[in-house]
Structure 1
Amino acid sequence: MMNMDGKHQGLIEPLKALEGMQELLQALLKKQNVKVINMVDACKAHFLYAISEFVKASPIIITYDEGSTRRLTEDLQFLIGSENIYVYPARDILFYSADVHSMDITSARIRVIEALNEQKKGAFIIPIEALLNPLSPQETWRTYSRTLHVGDVIDLAKLEAYLVEIGYSRVAKVEGMGQFAVRGGIIDIYTPIDNEPYRLELWDDELDSIRAFNVQTQRSIHKIDSLKIVPNQEIIFPLTLLRKAIPSIREEMKLVTKRLREEGHRESAITLEAHVKESIEQIENDISPKGLELYVPYTELATVSLLDYIKPQTILYLDEPLKSEERANRILKEYEESMKDRLQYGHILPKQIELMFTYEDIAEKLAHFPNLLLMNLDREISGVKISKKMSLKVYENNTFYKSLDLLEKDIKEWKRKRQRIIILSGSKTKAQKLGEELEDRGVFTAYSESLQEAPLEGQILIAKGALGKGFFYEEIGLHIVADKDLFGKEKNKKPRKKYQGAKIQSFLELNPGDYVVDELHGIGIFKGVEQIVIEGISRDNLKIEYADNSTLYVNINQMDRIQKYIGAEGKVPKLNKIGSSDWKKSKAKVKKAIQDIAKDLIKLYSTRQHLRGFVYDKDTLWQKEFEEMFPYEETDDQLQAVEEVKTDMESTKIMDRLICGDVGYGKTEVAIRAAFKAVQNNKQVAYLVPTTILAQQHYNRFLERMEGYPVNVGLLSRFRTPKQMKETLEGLNKGLVDIVIGTHRLLSADVKFKDLGLVIIDEEQRFGVTHKEKLKQMRHQVDVMTLTATPIPRTLHMSLIGVRDMSVLEEAPMQRKPIQTYVIEYSEDFIKDAINRELSRGGQVYFLHNQVKNIEEKTERIRELIPHAKIAFAHGQMSERELEKIMLNFIEKEIDILVCTTIIETGLDISNVNTIIINHADKMGLSQLYQLRGRVGRSDKMGYAYLMYEKNKVLKEIAEKRLQAIKQFTELGAGFKIAMRDLEIRGAGNLLGAQQHGHMEAIGYDLYCKMLAQVVSEEQGEVIEEEFETTIEIKIDAYIPSDYIFDEVQKLDIYKKIASIQNDKDYYDIQEEIEDRYGNLPCNVQNLLDIALIKALAHELYIVAVSEIQQEVCFKFKPDAKLNPDKLLEVMQLYPRKLKFVGGKEPSLKWDLTGENRKDLLVYIKNILQELKKLKS
C-alpha cells in the first residue's frame, strides 16, 4: 500500500496463518466480493490494514456513523501515520441555507477529492452520508484545475476571472482558504489543498517566483517551483449555464408564491420572492448566489458521487454495510422532511429538493467495485454476490482495571498456552516501565522499537503504540493489549492536524470613521488619507477631525504618535478640542493612576523577591511519568508555562504567577502538574474556583489525572454531605488530604492545613473584595498560581515584565478542531435540524436566548419542536441552588437541551455539548459571540455554532454593522480581531483592577499600555528623558502611490510600520517586507523609508528638525543636547567647506547643497547622521 519499511509488520504477519486468509486474498485479487464475519469493532482497523498491506493497495473504507469513522481514523493514525489518512466529512444539511459558513468541512472534502484525483497513497475514510452529496465529474474537476510553473506566461486578467469562476473570493488581504488577492504583479492565493498560502510574482507577464507566506505576518517563508490550483467548490459550473435556467426558476417561484398566498402564508411568499429575486440578480451580474448548489437541478449539469473518482476495480472496505444503509436512509428521510417543511414555508423551490443521491444510487455505484464486507453478524446483503466468506474467532479484551495482578495472571496463562502477546503503551517510557514492573513479577518481556518482527510463540513484546482497544485472535493465539485495556481509558498522545488559533497581537486596521488617538492632541475621528502638494512636493497626510469640526492634518512620517482608539465595545469616546488643556489634564490624571498602581505592583513584587519560600526538588521519575500520562500533545506555550512554573517553585522566591490563556488552551493541565510537584514534596495544595459546578468539574478532572498515584484529592463544596466535609477538613488538618478543591469555602476560618505549599486560584476577578484581601495575604506566605481565561495582550504583558510574572498561552491545542460557524436567518426548521443532528450523535445543545422575560415561552416552543428531548432553561435571576441543580443535571446528561442566557459565557467546560444556537446574534457584542462560540467544540467532536438573526426586521445601523462583522466571523478576519481586542481590554482590567477600565477609555488602550511601560521603567529607577518630536522637512516626494498599494487599510498598516523604524535593522526588515508583499519599491516609497530612518537617527542624536531651506539642509539640535565640539569638528572635516556648525541657544549643523545631486540627497543626509552617530559621546 505504502512503503512502511517493515514498520508494524510484526503486528500483521501472524494473520497470514488464519484459516481462509489465502483464499480471501485470492478472491480479492480476482476483484470478487468477500465477507468477513464475527468482526469486533476493536480489530477492524488492524484487520483491514493487514489486508491492504497483503494486497498492496490503499484501503478505501465506507463507515456507517461518526463513531466508526473516529475509531478507524484514530487506530489507523498509529498503524499508517496521520499524514497518510484522508477523511471525507459529511456536509451539514444547513450548509446550503447559511449566509456564511466555515470553510473547514469544504476544504477537507476538496483535499480528499484531489487526493483521489491524484491517486495518492493512503487510507481514505468515507462516512456513508458524505457520499450522498453530488460533485462535478472528474473530467470537469481536471479541466478546472491548473498547475502553474515558474517561467509560465500568465495573463493576469484571465487568471483573476478563472479564480472567481472556480469559487475563490477576491479580498484585499489573504487570511483564509479559498481567497486570493491581486496587488500589481503579485497574486496571493490560498488553495483548499495547501497548508499555507502562496505568493505568485510576475515579471511583466512571466511567472518569476512562487513563495509560501505566513498568514499572520504576510511574509514569504520559502520558494517552490510549481503550484497546483484546484476549484474551491465541489460543484463547478459556468454562470452562463445558470443564466439559461433563470426563466424556469422564475416560473417555479411564481407558482410557489401563488400557492403560499392562497394558503395564507403571505410572509413566507414575500421571503421566498426576495430570496429568489436576489439570487437571480446576482446570477445576471455574474456573481455566484448564496447556496449555489441549490440551483443545480435547474441546469443540465451532470453530477457524480465521490465513488466516481475512485479508480475502477479498487477494493472498497464496507464497515457494517447494513448499518450504512440504515444510516443513509435515515439521513435522507430527515433531509426530505426538512426540505418539505422549507418548501411549505417558502424557504426553497420544489426542484431544490432533488439535490441528494438516494441510497439506491450509491448501492448501484458500490456494486461496480470489489467489496470486502466487515460484519459482526452473518446477514445477507441484497444484490451483493459473495465469492468467499471468512469467519473470524476474535474477541475484545477485558479491562484489567489498572491491576498488574490481573495482567500478570492472564499473561502467565497465555504464555503457558504458547500464545503470542503484543502490549502497546502510549509512550516509550511507559512501555519500558511496564516491562520493568512485569519483570519484577517474573514475567520477562522484550521492547520492540518498530514491531518489524512478530513475537515468537510464548513471547511478550512491548512497544510504543496506540489502539483504542485490544483484542485476541483465538485461532492464531495472538493477543494485542492496548492502553485502554490496562487503564480503562485511552492514554496516548494523539497526533492530530494542528489547527492554529490566531495569536493575540497588536494590529492597526484604520478605516475612515474610526476614532483615533493623537498623543499630542487627543481623541479625534479619522477621515482618511489626503495627498497634499506644497511647492510641488507630494505627501500623504492623515486627516483627523476633532471637536467643533476642526481638522488636523498629520504628516504620515509622524504616524507613530497615532493609534486607533480602542475602548470598551460599543462605547463612544468624547472628542477633544485642538489646543484645549483637556487632553493634557486627562493624560496627567491617567499617569497619576498608573503611577499609583505601578508603585503597588513594584512594592509587592520587591517584597516577595526578598521573602524566602520553600525550594522544591527537581522533577522526580514519577513527575516525568505523570506528565507523559497526559493524553494529548502539549502546545509549545503549555510546555513553556510548565517550565516557568517549575523554575519558580525550584527557586528561593515565593511564586506568584499568572497563567493566562483562552478557554480550553490547557491552563488546568499546567496547574495539575504544579500540584503534583507540590505533593511530591509533601506539600498540600488548595485549588480555589468561583462556582460549585466548576469545583465539581475540577475535582473529577483531578481524580482522573491522579489515578494510579498515592495522591488524596478532597472537595469542599455544597455538593458534599456534612460527613464528607468533616472528613476532608480533618484530612487537611492531619495532612491526609494532599489536594483540596473548593469555592470560597476554602477561605473559611475552620479550614486548617497541616502544610500548605501551593494555592491555585481560578478567575480571581470573580471573587469578592473580602476574599481577594485574604488571597493577597496568602501571597506573602505560600506559592500562588492564578489562572485566567480572559486574554492578556502582548503589549500589556511586555509592559509588566519585571513587576508581574506571567505565562501566556496563545496557541490552540492540537486536538481542538475549528468550530463550524454558520450565520443564518432565524428559522424553526433549521433549529429543528441542527438540534436533531446533535442529539442523534449523542450530544447536547445550548440554545442561547438572552431574554429572561420570555425564556420559559421560548423553552416551550423548543419543546414543541423537539418533543422527544429533555429540555430545561437557566438564567441568572434564578436562585444559586436552583441554577446549580439544573447545571449539574446538564453536566450529568440528564438534560439534552439547555435554553439559557449568557450565564454560560464563562467557566463551564462540558465536552459533550457540541452545538450552540445563538438567537438574536445581531444584538450580541462580537467578543461575547466569540466567548459563547467557545463553549462548544471542547472535545475531538466537531463543534457547530449557528448565529441566527431576524432578517426581515429593520436593523439599527450599529446592529447592521455588527452583523456585517459577524459575517466575517467565520474567516477569523476583522470581526475576530475586534472581538479579541475587546477581550484584551477586559483582561487588562482584570489584571490591573476594574478602576483602570475608565482610565483606558479616557486615553485609549494603546496609549495606556505605552504610558504604563514608561511609568514602570521610571518606578524601577530608569532615567526617562523628556519626550520631544523630530520633524523632517525635505523637498522630496515621499508617499505610497495608490497603484502600488490600493487597499487603504493595508496602506495605513505599512505607513505605521515605516513610522516605527528605529534603526537599520528595522529599515531593512520593513523594506524587505514591502518588496515581498507588493513588489519592487517605487522611488517615492524608498524616499519614505529613508526619511523614517533619518528621523530615527536624528532623534537619537537629539536633533529636533532636519529641514531643507533654500540651498541648505539644517540639522537643528535640542538646546540641552550633549554635543562634543571635538567630535563635531571631526565630522565637519569629512565634508570640508560643506558642513558648518552654528552655536547659540539652538545649535545647528548646516550643509551647503550647492553643486550636490538632489537624487542622492537622502543618502547624503543618512551618511552625515551615521557619521555623527559613530562619534556620539
Structure 2
Amino acid sequence: MAGGWPPVTPAALVLRVAAGFTFDGVTVLAQRPRTEGGAGPAAPLAPVDLSCDDLAVHLDYGIGAVRGLDTVEAGGQPEDVLVMEYARENRLLVPAADLDRVWRYGSSDARVALDGLKGGNWIARRAELEREIGRTAKSLVRQAKRRARTKAPVIAPPAGPMRRMAARFPYEETAGQRRAISAVMDELASGRPMDHLVCADVGYGKTEVALRAAAAVAFTGRQVAVLAPTSVLARQHLEVFRRRLAGLGLRIEPLTGGMAASAAKTVREGLADGSVAIAVGTHALLSKTVRFADLALVVVDEEQRFGTVQKRALARLSAGVHCLALSATPVPRTLQGALAGLRGVSVIDTPPVRRRPVRTRAAPYDPSVLRSALMREKARGGQSFCVAPRIADLPALEAEVRALVPGLSIAVAHGRLPVAELDQVMVDVAEGTVDVLVSTPIIETGIDIPRANTIVIRRPDLFGLGQLHQLRGRVGRGGAQAYAYLLTDPDTPLGERTERRLGSLEAIESLGGGFALSLLDLDQRGAGDLLGTDQSGHLRLVGTELYQHLLARALAGAEMDDAPELRLGVPQTIPAAYLPEEDLRIGLHRRLSRLRDETAAEPLREEIEDRFGPLPEEVELLLATAALRARCRRLGVAALAAGPSGVSLTLNDTPCRAVREAALERLWTGQVRRTDDRLVFALSAEGPSEILNNARTVLDQLPPVGTA
C-alpha cells in the first residue's frame, strides 16, 4: 500500500464493548463511551443571550431597549457600560458590574411599550408584581408540603420481570435515560407521592422512562393510567406497551373517546375490578365514569397540550398517587414548580447513538423539489410525510402528490377520520405499505416510524417554531440521514419575523436543538399562555427570565439582595480586539456580574481561555473584580473602594458590625481611620494588581458575619 503500510483487511463488527482492543493481530476500534454525569455541557456565557436591539428589564427602571456596549471613563479608568434606550429616546448607561440587575425581556419582535426614565410607575408595578409572585410561591410551597405529608404506595417491583422487560429494549440506554430512570425509580420507592417531570428533545427516549415506571407499578399489582393528548399518540403508546410487556401477565387496554361504547364499557369494568393493569388513553380516562380499583401511577405525555378543564380533572385523578409528566418543551407551565426544586425534574440531554440531525431546507414551493424528495426517499426504501396546516388543504395536496408521483402508495390522515379508519391508516404506515402519508399536524407528537426519513411541510409560516421542530422530529428515527423541506407559498410574501423563525429552524438542526428552539419560540411569539391567565400577565410585565428569577427567590424565601458597591480604580472593560462580537462581550459581562462564589472565577477563566485564547490583562482584572464582589457578598461588605493610596470598607448594618470593625481596627492599629461609616486603610499601591492585592489583604483579616 502507499506510504509503506502493510496490507490489511478491514471488517465491520457489531459488538458491545467498553473500549477498543487488540487480540491476535486484530485491532478493534470502538466508539468512545459517553461520559456519565460530570459537569455536563458548559454553561453559556450569559444566563439567556442578550443582544443589541433586544428588550430588557432593569430592576430599577423597567423595560428598555438594548442599544449596545460602550466604553466610558470612570475614575480615570475605562469602564464598559450597557446602553439602554427608554421612552422619549432617553438613554441609561448601566455599568457592566450592574448587569445582574438587567434581565432579558425578549426580542425586538415583542410588542411592548418602553418605560420612561422620569415620572414612570415602574417601581410601583414591580412591587405589586413581587407581592403577587410571593403569593404564588406560598401557594406552590403549600401544595408541595401537602404532597410531602401524603403517603403513597412504596413501589418495589420484583427484579425478575423488570429485568426481562428491560432486556427487550432494542437500544442501548443513553446516560440521560439511565439518570432519569434511576431518579424516577427512587421516587417511586420513597413512600411519598412522586411528582416528576422528564424533559427531553424529540426522539430522546422519554417513553422508555415512562414504560419502566409503569411496569414497576403494574408488577406490584397496582394500576397505571397513561394519558396522551391525541388518539394517534395513545394508539402508538398502546402498541409499545403491549409489545414490551407481552407474556408478563399484565392486561393493557386502551380507552379513547372514539371507541365503541361496548368496548369502552368493558375497559371501564376492568379498571373498576382491577383486572386491567395499565390503561392507555386520551382525556376519556379523566371521565367521572372511570373508576380505578388501585390506581398508583398517572403518566401524562405532553401535559401542556391538555386544556384547563382536563387539567382540573387530571389533578383529581392524580391526587395522592405518583405522577410522571413527559415533555419536549423545556419551559412549559409544568416546569413552574421545578424552578426551585418543588418537583422532581430529569433532563435527558444525550441523543441516541445512531441518531443524526435532520437536514432542513426552507424554500418557496417548487413541484420539482417535492417530486424529487419523495422519489429519492422511495428509492432508498424509506417513507415520507407531507403535512399541510389545515384539513381543508389536504385534498389539493393529495391530488398534487398523486399527480407528481403516480407510482407511489399514498394515504391520508387527519383528526376527523373515524377512529377505526385512522388507526388502519397508521397501521399501514407502520407496516410500510404506505410510501407517502399526507396529513395534518396530527402526526406532530409521538408517531414513531423508523423508516420515515423525509418530511415536506407546506405553508410552514402557519406553524409555530416549536410545532415545526416537533414535526421535524417525526423523521430520522432509524439512523438514516433524514430531510425536512419547509415549502412556503411563492405568492405569499413572508414577513421579517416569519423569515427569522424559519431561518432559526434551518440554523438549529443539531441534536438537542429543541431546547434552543422552544426558548426561541417563546421569545419570538410571546409567553401569554405559559403559566395560565394570572401568571401570563406577570410574564408580560417583566419577561420570562426575570419572572423565573423572582419566583425562584420567592420560593427559596430569599430577599432581593443589593450587590456590594465596588470602586477599585482598575479598568473594567473587555477589549474589542480580544472579543470583537459585541453580543459576546455583553454576555460575558452578564456572566461575571452574576458570579456569586469566588471559587467559580477560576473555572470561568479556564472556559474563557479555552474558547477565546489567552486572557488580556483587562479580562484578568475583570475576573479578579468579580471574585472580590462575590467575596464581599459572603462577608457582608456593603462597599469596597481601593486605589493607589489605600482601601476603604463599609460593612452591612448587622448586629455584629461594631465588633467586626473593632477587630479590624485592632489588627491595623496606626494604619486605619474611621470616616463616617467607613474604615479607611493606608495602603499604597502601584498599578492595578497591587490595588487588588491590598483589597484582598483587608478582606482576609475581616472576621466573618456573626462574629460575637
The CA deviation string for residues 466-514 of structure 1, in whole angstroms up to 9 with x for no partner, is: xxxxxxxxxxxxxxxxxxxxxxxxxxxxxxxxxxxxxx99744333212
Change (3 A) 1:522 1:836: same
Change (3 A) 1:939 1:993: farther
3-state SS, counterpart of residue 114 of structure 2 = coil
Query: How do 1:717-732 and structure 2 match up within 5 A?
Result: 717=256, 720-732=259-271
Q: CA deviation at 1:1140?
A: 1.8
Matched, 1:564 2:110: no
Letter in 2 for 1:1132: E
Query: How do 1:367-378 and structure 2 match up within 5 A?
Result: none
Q: CA deviation at 1:1129?
A: 2.8
Letter in 2 for 1:518: H
**What is the number of residues matched between the two proteins?**
693
Matched, 1:1027 2:556: no
Matched, 1:551 2:91: yes
Matched, 1:917 2:444: no
Q: Is the 8 A contact 1:679 1:738 kept in 2?
A: yes
3-state SS, counterpart of residue 697 of structure 1 = helix
Matched, 1:532 2:88: no
Q: CA deviation at 1:548?
A: 1.2
Q: CA deviation at 1:559?
A: 1.6
3-state SS, counterpart of residue 790 of structure 1 = coil
Q: CA deviation at 1:215?
A: 11
Deviates more, 1:1003-1012 or 1:806-815: 806-815
Q: Is the 8 A contact 1:965 1:974 kept in 2?
A: no
Matched, 1:1163 2:693: yes
Give the match for residue 1045 of structure 1: 579
Q: CA deviation at 1:1004?
A: 1.4
Q: Is the 8 A contact 2:329 2:515 kept in 1?
A: no
Matched, 1:755 2:294: yes
Matched, 1:701 2:240: yes
Deviates more, 1:763-772 or 1:1164-1173: 763-772
Deviates more, 1:709-718 or 1:945-954: 945-954
- Counterpart among 207, 210, 227 of residue 688 in structure 1: 227
Give the match for residue 274 of structure 2: 735
Change (3 A) 1:889 1:585: farther
Give the match for residue 326 of structure 2: 787
Matched, 1:968 2:502: no
CA distance in structure 1 between the aligned counterparts of 2:429 and 2:527, rounded to whole angstroms = 33
Give the match for residue 217 of structure 1: 42
- Counterpart among 695, 702, 705 of residue 1172 in structure 1: 702
3-state SS, counterpart of residue 14 of structure 2 = helix
Q: CA deviation at 1:577?
A: 1.4
Change (3 A) 1:1122 1:580: farther
Q: CA deviation at 1:557?
A: 1.3
Q: CA deviation at 1:692?
A: 1.9
Q: Is the 8 A contact 2:644 2:687 kept in 1?
A: no
The CA deviation string for residues 639-690 of structure 1, in whole angstroms up to 9 with x for no partner, is: 2222222222222212232233223222221122122222221112222222
Change (3 A) 1:542 1:994: same
Letter in 2 for 1:1157: E
Letter in 1 for 2:516: K
Give the match for residue 681 of structure 2: 1151
Q: Is the 8 A contact 1:825 1:950 kept in 2?
A: yes
Letter in 1 for 2:649: F
Matched, 1:647 2:176: no
Matched, 1:1103 2:645: no
Q: Is the 8 A contact 1:966 1:975 kept in 2?
A: no
Q: Is the 8 A contact 1:586 1:1003 kept in 2?
A: no
CA distance in structure 2 between the aligned counterparts of 1:1060 and 1:794, rounded to whole angstroms = 26
Matched, 1:1013 2:552: yes
3-state SS, counterpart of residue 78 of structure 1 = coil
CA distance in structure 1 between the aligned counterparts of 2:263 and 2:562, rounded to whole angstroms = 67
CA distance in structure 1 between the aligned counterparts of 2:525 and 2:345, rounded to whole angstroms = 17
Change (3 A) 1:1075 1:842: closer
Give the match for residue 317 of structure 2: 778
Give the match for residue 609 of structure 2: 1075
Q: CA deviation at 1:736?
A: 2.4
CA distance in structure 2 between the aligned counterparts of 1:527 and 1:1067, rounded to whole angstroms = 28
Give the match for residue 591 of structure 1: 130
CA distance in structure 1 between the aligned counterparts of 2:271 and 2:308, rounded to whole angstroms = 26
Give the match for residue 332 of structure 1: none
Give the match for residue 606 of structure 1: 145
Letter in 1 for 2:379: S
Q: What TM-score do you get using the length of structure 2 for normalisation?
A: 0.86
Change (3 A) 1:685 1:972: closer
Instruction: Provide the alpha-carbon RMSD of the alignment.
Output: 3.9
CA distance in structure 2 between the aligned counterparts of 1:595 and 1:1042, rounded to whole angstroms = 42
Give the match for residue 77 of structure 1: 14
Change (3 A) 1:621 1:1017: same
CA distance in structure 1 between the aligned counterparts of 2:69 and 2:545, rounded to whole angstroms = 21
| Max Rg structure | 1
Q: CA deviation at 1:1054?
A: 2.0
Change (3 A) 1:1173 1:581: farther
- Counterpart among 1052, 1056, 1070 of residue 590 in structure 2: 1056
Give the match for residue 940 of structure 1: 479
CA distance in structure 1 between the aligned counterparts of 2:511 and 2:10, rounded to whole angstroms = 36
Give the match for residue 629 of structure 1: 168
Change (3 A) 1:756 1:550: same
Q: Is the 8 A contact 1:618 1:650 kept in 2?
A: no
Letter in 1 for 2:697: N
Q: Is the 8 A contact 1:919 1:949 kept in 2?
A: yes
Deviates more, 1:709-718 or 1:975-984: 975-984
Letter in 2 for 1:1032: L
- Counterpart among 808, 815, 819 of residue 358 in structure 2: 819
Q: CA deviation at 1:545?
A: 0.7
Q: Is the 8 A contact 1:969 1:976 kept in 2?
A: no
Deviates more, 1:791-800 or 1:846-855: 791-800
Q: CA deviation at 1:554?
A: 0.8
Q: Is the 8 A contact 2:664 2:702 kept in 1?
A: yes
Q: What TM-score do you get using the length of structure 1 for normalisation?
A: 0.54
Change (3 A) 1:596 1:1121: closer
Q: Is the 8 A contact 1:965 1:975 kept in 2?
A: no
3-state SS, counterpart of residue 657 of structure 1 = strand
Q: Is the 8 A contact 2:329 2:514 kept in 1?
A: no
CA distance in structure 2 between the aligned counterparts of 1:778 and 1:575, rounded to whole angstroms = 44
Letter in 1 for 2:141: I
Q: Is the 8 A contact 1:909 1:935 kept in 2?
A: yes
- Counterpart among 1080, 1083, 1090 of residue 624 in structure 2: 1090
Letter in 1 for 2:579: I
Change (3 A) 1:1170 1:893: same
Give the match for residue 674 of structure 1: 213
Q: CA deviation at 1:1136?
A: 3.3
Matched, 1:1131 2:664: yes
Give the match for residue 3 of structure 2: none
The CA deviation string for residues 412-467 of structure 1, in whole angstroms up to 9 with x for no partner, is: xxxxxxxxxxxxxxxxxxxxxxxxxxxxxxxxxxxxxxxxxxxxxxxxxxxxxxxx
CA distance in structure 2 between the aligned counterparts of 1:78 and 1:1108, rounded to whole angstroms = 64
Q: CA deviation at 1:844?
A: 2.6
Q: Is the 8 A contact 1:1031 1:1104 kept in 2?
A: yes
Query: How do 1:973-1012 and structure 2 match up within 5 A?
Result: 977-982=516-521, 992-993=531-532, 995-1012=534-551
The CA deviation string for residues 67-121 of structure 1, in whole angstroms up to 9 with x for no partner, is: xxxxxx6xx313999979xxxxxxxxxxxxxxxxxxxxxxxxxxxxxxxxxxx97
Q: Is the 8 A contact 1:845 1:897 kept in 2?
A: yes
What are the ranges of 5 or more consecutive residues in structure 2 without an aligned counterpart? 1-5
3-state SS, counterpart of residue 1004 of structure 1 = helix
The CA deviation string for residues 986-1013 of structure 1, in whole angstroms up to 9 with x for no partner, is: 9998885464333223201111111111
Q: CA deviation at 1:1165?
A: 1.1
Q: Is the 8 A contact 2:258 2:419 kept in 1?
A: no
CA distance in structure 2 between the aligned counterparts of 1:1064 and 1:776, rounded to whole angstroms = 44
CA distance in structure 1 between the aligned counterparts of 2:571 and 2:66, rounded to whole angstroms = 23
Query: How do 1:298-447 and structure 2 match up within 5 A?
Result: none
Letter in 2 for 1:706: L
